[in-house]
Structure 1
């Protein structure tokens, strides 16, 4: 395990057959969805599916609950409080730190994964990311954000995406995963979008279909040249440290600093996480 999460796969919790398929997939994390993918009349049954799936599955799972303030939020929180403590909780439409603190208080020891999906949420992204030590990640919910911003293309999301990357890293959290790419059959568009997201500082992406997983993984994989450069940096610092050398220089004359070493280690971890078994 590298600790780097590259692929997350959503499964609507009111569809047991899709939940089973997702749990058998190669996704790093399966997200059982109680929110947008589940009609109001099916919420109770979806909770039963989550309870059964969590009890029988030995893998990394998160559950996306309904947003705070909705009629289903309390029932979702009660369900999660009764389940295993390592279960990740995906909190949608977060706008204020108090929402995070309330979930952390009622779900102790559970990692919280926050989604900001409104203009206000983006503006307060750093504050909510630091709201409680239980916060494990920060991300965007872009469908709702598009509606709130009234934007018609990805260009309108550029600032929000950059803000979330900055807020996550400033709060000491992992680089965020990208929001889902809704065009399931457009795998080339997905690849291009992931490549652009990696340049912005995202690491990985949520998927809504298993067919998207390999594309996401390969798009976020470092190139062989990046891996070779990173390995050279790590090897050079190890050799220099063992020899008691203070000035660290690569073969091309580039001086090393702490930031370069940390980035190199991340690249190697990402390469390991995206390698096909």
Structure 2
């Protein structure tokens, strides 16, 4: 299972930054053929992509490639260029997904390319970016579009432009859309989705507020546009010492009770504990790197 808390975007036509990104501590890097590359440079970036990935990737780096949106007419060429290096590509990021059929068409093309290049079927997963009002309203269907879908990502900039609002950190105007994305991923049994990147650099207060808001809504991490943002995002999404201590107490008390045939208990502070509470505790322990028990 790919576990991603921070997904750091790097322009596909800046191979030097790919090397740096691999060493940055990000959970994954996203080599970007879409917004980070000017229209006139897209063909050159796409054609150089296989060589760039072979030369500049480092072991242990989760690698994603963001293709251009399907309605641009550029996505097919992007995918074809990816064919020779699909074995080193963990994720294809599909921007501006509108419906589940968009993902199914990309999945079908990847299956053809995997077969043609001798890559295990289904190896390369999909991350679907929910960036429009239509996509938000279809998020549940998009999340359930097939086994290749890893999870969803939220795109605040495009949606804010469509709605005519400011995508400020913690914007109340986007809470419903964000929550819809979180619920859709959970309903489909996917890992928690990734929130939109914080678009202001050298704004540590705003970055922290944005990451805390995302975590409170149920996101599992965020997309990131600069290495300087990584430390804050990882810190916000890591379990606190208090959370870890609580989770450990829950796990130990429940293990003792379960061994005696009891499936619901009350902690010393009065907290009622049953299986849903234990599952949350185990997720916290897993995120903190501790053994979570059964």
CA contact (8 A) 1:6 1:177 kept: yes
Moved more, 243-252 or 28-37: 243-252
Aligned partner of 2:19 in structure 1 is 20
CA contact (8 A) 1:139 1:177 kept: yes
Cα deviation for residue 53 of structure 1 reads 4.0
Structure 1 segments, 4+ long, off by >4 Å, are none
Tell me the TM-score normalised to structure 2 length.
0.87
CA contact (8 A) 1:16 1:49 kept: no
Q: Any unmatched runs of 5+ in structure 1? A: none
1:207 paired with 2:209, answer: no
> For 1:224 and 1:40, how far apart are their aligned partners in 2?
47
Cα deviation for residue 118 of structure 1 reads 0.7
Cα deviation for residue 115 of structure 1 reads 0.3
Q: Deviations over 1:194-227 (max 9, x none)?
A: 1111111112111111000001011112221111
Cα deviation for residue 242 of structure 1 reads 3.5
Equivalent position to 2:274, from 252, 257, 267: 257
Q: Deviations over 1:235-267 (max 9, x none)?
A: 222233334444433233433211111111112
Aligned partner of 1:99 in structure 2 is 102
Aligned partner of 1:125 in structure 2 is 139
Which has the higher relative contact order, 1 or 2, with Cα contacts under 8 A spaced 6 or more apart? 1
Equivalent position to 1:238, from 246, 249, 255: 255
Partner secondary structure for residue 199 of structure 1: helix
After superposition, the CA RMSD in angstroms is 1.9
Q: Any unmatched runs of 5+ in structure 2? A: 112-121
> For 1:26 and 1:151, how far apart are their aligned partners in 2?
33
> For 2:109 and 2:77, how far apart are their aligned partners in 1?
12
Aligned partner of 1:76 in structure 2 is 78
5 Å-filtered alignment, 1:165-204, equals: 165-204=182-221
How many aligned residue pairs are there? 272
CA contact (8 A) 1:66 1:92 kept: yes
Q: Deviations over 1:56-85 (max 9, x none)?
A: 522210101000021311111112233234
1:266 paired with 2:286, answer: no
Partner secondary structure for residue 266 of structure 2: coil
CA contact (8 A) 1:10 1:30 kept: yes
5 Å-filtered alignment, 1:42-53, equals: 42-53=41-52
CA contact (8 A) 1:137 1:168 kept: yes
Aligned partner of 1:148 in structure 2 is 162
C-alpha distance 67-45 of structure 1, shift in aligned 2 (>3 A): same
> For 2:264 and 2:224, how far apart are their aligned partners in 1?
44
C-alpha distance 246-22 of structure 1, shift in aligned 2 (>3 A): closer
Cα deviation for residue 30 of structure 1 reads 0.6
Tell me the TM-score normalised to structure 1 length.
0.92
CA contact (8 A) 2:49 2:82 kept: no
